[in-house]
Structure 1
């Protein structure tokens, strides 16, 4: 649906940033493509918090494209960062990877069994696949390739020449109290939320080191052990001769920086250098960059040394995970975009990022809450269809279902996620039974093939199989519970007869809903069609008692999937066998 041309009173946060970015781009670089940027470090699984680093500029870039402008969304893969820590819980990785700490991520072996040549490529690949499914268009830049091919040589030499100016800026903050936080990979596990900033290159607050020879914003990787545990001991501005010594292996050498490519600028200098080099207009940053002395704040001053300007940079807040603990991407087991896309359609995941302003935290559900989120999404879709939706909600919906390039592939007939999950739970993936049940939901408009409800059906089935504990799965009884049936009083037996007598004429989702809620009404002397206002409070108690009886007789539990769905799934013959008193 179109979202261009909305009034400023009703536009969403994406449109407001797009207005600002277009105006700023025309001021700084008229006639040139608008440049927005993200930075990701493939130091381990790239998680759903890191995805906000990408989705925020993606949504803004996409809005700008919708308005007819040319946009470049750069994703800088910080794959030339040092390997800081061996992540826990990564398959194919053990303590032997400790020996690689300090090397560039592209020099670290990939986990055992990986199809990729190194650590960085292994984790980049999963994220790249997820971004394609999410419809994110971007230009990827490998920082390993940039540095080792000499693309940044002039910038490196310039930074070394102006190291005194850089040091003076950094020194303003060195005596200030450090923000109360730990660095990437060192945050304690917490049940509340997943910090969006972790795992991005921006989380490493390296500003270089001061030795007897002075301050240097450049750190070589050792020519013998490949690690960055090096100290520059001498540098000549005229010849660019640089001498360093490695604290790990003791190796030392003198190189000419105007032809040496095995090293990089320290983070607090590297980031603003790239802003100037690429002409970045918009790049968000995590909450850990908003305190004094953090890389984004300091970068805003250092970028001027390189002749550039700081991008428009909104702070983005935490992404919470419902049902999973907070952890950094070095901890292992952290949910990634691929994990989310296994259980939800890309439209829903896009919507979660689009509907909240960057500085608002939100949660992504891996537990039962996903069913409520899907209900909310389907209600929004219905409002869009009947044109009763609020403008900002309509904009978020449009950004979720497609991009400037077109709509994302979608489920042709999107049945309720909770219904599909219940059916998948009961049938354990048997396609013939699944098709039978789903066709009986609406006999007037039956399914002809399960492809009509895919991929949503597949996502719901994956959620049941991977996130619902075994003791919460639904197992239909094979034989009647004769002891319970014999113990029923006359009223209990009568309620089951009323239900069984109505199965033939009510065998659809709506019909069975009417029937199971109607039995207690009829037993109490009311019409099955009686509304809540016509009924005494006792009817609700009677309904709950009746429902509990049915659950016990069908699945030996107090609760389970919605009864109409459960009855359809079990099938008339088996229902009659299990409920015949």
Structure 2
């Protein structure tokens, strides 16, 4: 179990620890200051021995804390120095503390029914919480919540946190009269928080509202930066006129690529290329989940933006297939443990349908990705490139300038690279493994090595003991990543490439390779496409956590266009996907479709142009016309009608049918049906009763029963949805039952639940006669 220093002192930013386990990029320490994502609070980032920690998560059994690193440079048993990103942590602590205060005043102002739902997300920018709402959001009341929260903060109230006496893993938080369970990190006193701003977030679904809280200083920054491209290290790349702020992110990047004049690290001039190349790639040693599609989808958007800007462009995909097998995945024979440490291109396909493990995964990747992109990607294999000698001039250049490469890397390392370090990694001539050869010397351009054991977290790559000589010019090996990436850019004349947010840091592999590219290889670094990774229910997607969504799973309930829409939204905004919230994502997509076709207006011209471009970039081979059936409504219909034909007839009667998109409507019904069966929360699952059960009758008051009988009679009339809603008001007035008790009685009688879909539309969809028959049985 990892000792949690962040509970002992949440203000401690640096520490020393021992590496207990290591598996690929996942590192477990005996103690840590890094807070793992959980309870709605994001995991910490920072450094371990100068190596970037890009995320922190809990192990599946919750006992270990896993530090996800770019490329660990140590092994089990090593002592390391850790340092968290304190500014990020401190802002997160402030917002996490204030989220509890806001929750308290939301209930005080709106009522006890206004409760926060799980899967909130607090980071250094915002607290994003979703609340149950039984009435339209009153903005004046929301501003009152903001005032009460700020008044409370201004009282400089102490915050206390403690562990449960019987169960230390269960913790509590108290501030004044506010007390609740909490496992996050918090400030000691509200005076540290400062003033906050509360805003209404985007749509969160029927009966819900998304409320966002920001620190006042953060909010000011966001107003300035929210439409600007990510820059940080790329600040030298100048923006055009103020009007550019309204441009879609991919168009902004395209403009940066086309208009830049000089290198980033030097004053060398950039000569415009004849063709602008966008590179995307994937490692073949991991799990093929929907997160792996993001790089290609976003890369294609930049490629398209370049073409739309009138320049010649090309998009390529590179298989990083020189990576060694690090563990034996599920479904692969156990004897593949013998291949641990071998490049995936040199391992037989365990399924027997392709030449190699790598070929199998490339075929599998493209079988999926082709459904999500417009362009047929031009494919390259790093193993093939090395074997063909295409990288020979770049290998020579890197080895000849190894001293400069080492100097660039050492600038960002606490411990310099060891004497005898080489940017070249040989493959053992005897056993074929790439992780086990340990370099023992250099002579006449050759590398001498001995094949020795290399320990991963779970497996050990067995060295064969062979002592050999490797000639880098023959391509039987590979360059280290912090030089190989630079050579890839030169090899294919790359002008832009995507990378996760962790590569924004100035000591990341991206910026080290960028400096190597410009100073050693005299090639201008690509314009980066930095992006946030997709979270699932507020947690990073991980096979070990069991929260992976595979593309085939996505296509059961979502369309390729919907995933493209999700990935093409703002790149650096933290996104958490939840199957429960799928209807909300569909609503957002549909709203953009309506704006694109002029059926709805955006807030202003800039927002409208941006919304149209986002929708356009989300499409595949043609622009999809708006679908008049909301996904949530489709999910209701498939539960109350037996066939699609019956649903179509109902849609025609309610005005939700458009013959031009008949196929799209049927597709949405099928997707909604799958969602209900596989992913939907219980509260949206509907089964219309045949009659009111004795158990339900026992829950109803005489006034509620009277109201239901009146409604049964009303349903014999010819009424549309609006007219039926007016009848509800009349019944409520005549029976003197409260609106809340009326709707509760209706839902209990019809579907056996206290809440349900919008009542009037639901009754029309189910059929007035059918509902009347149920209500008469009361």
Normalising by the smaller structure, the TM-score range is 0.7 to 0.9
Deviation (angstroms), 1:117: 4.5
Q: Which residue of 2 aligns with 1:14?
A: 250
Q: In the TM superposition, what are the counterparts of 1:106-255 in structure 2 within 5 Å?
A: 106-110=345-349, 112=351, 115-137=353-375, 138-175=377-414, 210=418, 214-228=420-434, 229-237=436-444, 240-247=445-452, 248-255=463-470
Q: Deviation string for 1:112-148 (max 9, x for gaps)?
A: 5x85554434444454344333334333322122123
The range that moved more, 455-464 or 404-413, is: 404-413
TM-score by length of 1: 0.78
Q: Which residue of 1 aligns with 2:744?
A: 548
The 1:336/1:276 distance shift into structure 2, 3 A limit, reads: same
The 1:39/1:488 distance shift into structure 2, 3 A limit, reads: closer
Q: Deviation string for 1:64-102 (max 9, x for gaps)?
A: 111222111222221221222345xx4x24654433221
Q: Deviation string for 1:143-177 (max 9, x for gaps)?
A: 12212322212222332233233223223333269
The 8 Å contact of residues 637 and 647 in structure 2, kept in 1 or not, is answered as yes
The 1:437/1:388 distance shift into structure 2, 3 A limit, reads: closer
TM-score by length of 2: 0.59
Q: Which residue of 2 aligns with 1:310?
A: 525
CA distance in 2, matches of 1:10, 1:448: 32
Q: Which residue of 2 aligns with 1:44?
A: 286
Higher helix share: 1
Deviation (angstroms), 1:489: 5.8
Matched, 1:75 2:317: yes
Matched, 1:366 2:579: yes
How many residues were matched structurally? 516
The 8 Å contact of residues 62 and 404 in structure 1, kept in 2 or not, is answered as no
Q: In the TM superposition, what are the counterparts of 1:129-528 in structure 2 within 5 Å?
A: 129-137=367-375, 138-175=377-414, 210=418, 214-228=420-434, 229-237=436-444, 240-247=445-452, 248-258=463-473, 260-303=474-517, 304-321=519-536, 323=537, 325-328=539-542, 333-356=547-570, 358-367=571-580, 369-384=581-596, 385-386=598-599, 388-389=601-602, 390-403=604-617, 407-408=621-622, 410=624, 413-427=627-641, 430-442=643-655, 451-469=663-681, 473-482=685-694, 484-485=696-697, 491-506=703-718, 511-512=720-721, 514-516=723-725, 518-524=727-733
CA distance in 2, matches of 1:442, 1:46: 41
The 8 Å contact of residues 74 and 139 in structure 1, kept in 2 or not, is answered as yes
The 8 Å contact of residues 56 and 353 in structure 1, kept in 2 or not, is answered as yes
Q: Which residue of 2 aligns with 1:194?
A: none
**Secondary structure, aligned partner of 1:39:** strand
The 1:365/1:110 distance shift into structure 2, 3 A limit, reads: farther
**Secondary structure, aligned partner of 1:524:** helix
The 1:60/1:160 distance shift into structure 2, 3 A limit, reads: same
CA distance in 2, matches of 1:454, 1:401: 21
- Structure 2 unaligned spans of 5+: 1-240, 263-268, 453-462
Relative contact order: is structure 1 or structure 2 higher (C-alpha 8 Å, sep ≥ 6)?
Answer: 1
The 1:487/1:327 distance shift into structure 2, 3 A limit, reads: closer
- Structure 1 unaligned spans of 5+: 178-208, 527-538
Alignment RMSD (CA, Å):
3.5
The 8 Å contact of residues 324 and 366 in structure 1, kept in 2 or not, is answered as no
Deviation (angstroms), 1:9: 5.1
The 8 Å contact of residues 506 and 515 in structure 1, kept in 2 or not, is answered as no
Deviation (angstroms), 1:524: 0.8
**Secondary structure, aligned partner of 2:316:** strand
The 8 Å contact of residues 506 and 512 in structure 1, kept in 2 or not, is answered as no
CA distance in 2, matches of 1:490, 1:332: 49
CA distance in 2, matches of 1:331, 1:491: 50
